[in-house]
A and B are shown apart, each in its own frame.
Chain A
Amino acid sequence: MDSDKGEELLMVRATYDVPYHWSAGQYVGKFFEELRDNGRIYANLCPKCGRGLIPPRPWCARCNVRMGEWVELSGKGTVLVFSVAQQSFWDSGRGEMTPVPAAGAIIQLDGAPVLFRHALQETDPEKLRMGMRVEAVLKPREQRIGTLNDILYFRTIEDEGHG
């Protein structure tokens, strides 16, 4: 329609805002509660293949057996691989853009054969390397709500005092 040329085109703006609840169950629930209330990080171990799971779960999906012993971890570990994000994106859980730069890593935690993915405090790629030692930094007790984000990030261990 020629008569519409040059007429104002409108944008429709809305926010899809949906709260939801889910049951973390007994195992993941206990893991989150120990993290929130006592600042402790636990894994549990498969009695058959020996691997650890974090958060702990009732069954080893590889061996199809009940998981066994719970072990408290020190929160220290070794960076296996890392990546530094320079592009911000929408964080639908927080309702804001993610901060950049942001470093993420897969960390081999001490005390159990288990890999853990989390953020690193250090975001300068020049100061990151595979094999570096890091330790978990928790939020203060009053800010912990029982999620993996109760761990703020892993910071570089400058001097572990070997020997």
Chain B
Amino acid sequence: MDKIETREPMIVHGKIILPYTHSAGRVGSRFLRELRDSRRILAIRCPACNRVYVPPRSTCARCFGQLEEWVELDGRGTLITYTVVRYSLPVHPVKAPFALGIIQLDGADTGLIHIVGEADLESLSIGTRLEPVFKEVREGSILDIKYFRPLSP
């Protein structure tokens, strides 16, 4: 055995694989069904503060009131902020490099996190106008929206 002080430290490769399942609930299920069946993006409005949530939720985070007023959005929106992911992980829905953005859809007051596709990653900028591209085969998932792409001027 060689002298221990001169050895290279050994690198151990591990992994954590955790499958999980959660219920989308009453409001989340309707949102996902509409994506899947009609390519429609639904939001929900708080009657007390007028805040429009997308993805929709059953209670207002500010007023704690029950939300029931559904609003259909046309899907277009504005890039609020983004990051370029350059490191691939199995958990990512697409291979790196790709842009992950927070998108404020027209008519909504909240940001929606999604992939920005068909975009030049080096010249992407905050304020870019975007539209959704739906998958052909949809299964009731937020990824039924393939990505948001820049609107052609």
Q: A-side interface residues toward B, CB under 8 Å?
A: 1, 4, 7-30, 32-34, 70, 90, 92-95, 146-147
User: Smallest CB–CB gap between B79 and chain A, Å?
Assistant: 25
B15 cross-chain contacts in A, Cβ below 8 A = 17-20, 93, 95
Provide the main secondary structure of the chain B interface: mixed
| In the complex, B86 has a CB within 8 A of chain A | no
CB pair B22–A22 under 8 Å, yes or no, is no
The 0/1 profile, CB within 8 Å of A marked 1, for residues 117-153 of chain B is 0000000000000000000000011000000000000
Interface residues of B (CB under 8 A from A): 1, 4-5, 7-26, 28-30, 32-33, 68, 89-91, 140-141
For the complex of A and B, the 9 pairs showing the least CB-CB separation, nearest first, are A29-B10, A95-B17, A17-B90, A16-B18, A24-B10, A10-B29, A10-B24, A15-B19, A23-B9
Q: Are A7 and B33 in contact (CB under 8 A)?
A: yes
Is the Cβ of A30 less than 8 Å from the Cβ of B33?
no
Q: Is A11 in contact with B23, judged by CB distance below 8 angstroms?
A: yes
Contact status A17-B11, CB under 8 Å = no
Provide the residues of chain B in CB contact with A94, threshold 8 Å: 17
- When C-beta atoms are compared, the residue in chain A nearest to B26 turns out to be A4
Contacts of A18 in B (CB 8 A): 15-17, 89-91
Known: A4-B30, A15-B18, A92-B17. A9 touches B12 (CB 8 A): no
Determine the chain A residues whose CB is within 8 A of the CB of B8 once the complex forms: 29
Chain A's nearest CB lies how many Å from the CB of B36? Answer: 8
Give 10 new A-B contacts, CB below 8 A, not counting A10-B28, A27-B4, A33-B10: A4-B30, A8-B33, A10-B24, A14-B19, A19-B13, A19-B15, A20-B14, A23-B11, A25-B9, A28-B10
